[in-house]
Amino acid sequence: MAKAISQYFKRVFEDYQVLVMVNPADYTGIELIIHPDGSVEKTEMTFDEEIFEDLEVDEFQTCSPLEFQLQLAKA
């Protein structure tokens, strides 16, 4: 069985941004909140099957794995 490739999303709000990594095989992932002072808050997440629709409704855009990993390194 092929390994699922995680997908990455980002949304920029007025004074912070949220990056999300989703593993589509088991709907697990990580949410990063980047605060105005540059600090990064990391939360391990378990999503449901509707996560991709939810992200689209919430106006998240796809982002690069590199951008996500650079922010994760700061967490």
Q: Distance (Å, rounded) from C-alpha 11 to C-alpha 58?
A: 8
* pLDDT tens digit sequence for 2-54: 566 999 999 999 999 999 999 999 999 999 999 999 999 999 999 999 999 99
pLDDT over 60 (residue 1):
no
pLDDT at 3 (0 to 100):
63
Sign of CA dihedral 20, 21, 23, 28: negative
Q: Distance (Å, rounded) from C-alpha 58 to C-alpha 1?
A: 32
pLDDT at 74 (0 to 100):
92
Work out the burial of residue 18: count CB atoms within 10 Å of its CB; fewer than 13 is exposed, 13-18 middle, 19 or more buried. middle
The DSSP element (H or E) to which 70 belongs, if any, is helix 65-72
* pLDDT tens digit sequence for 61-71: 999 999 999 99
pLDDT at 2 (0 to 100):
53
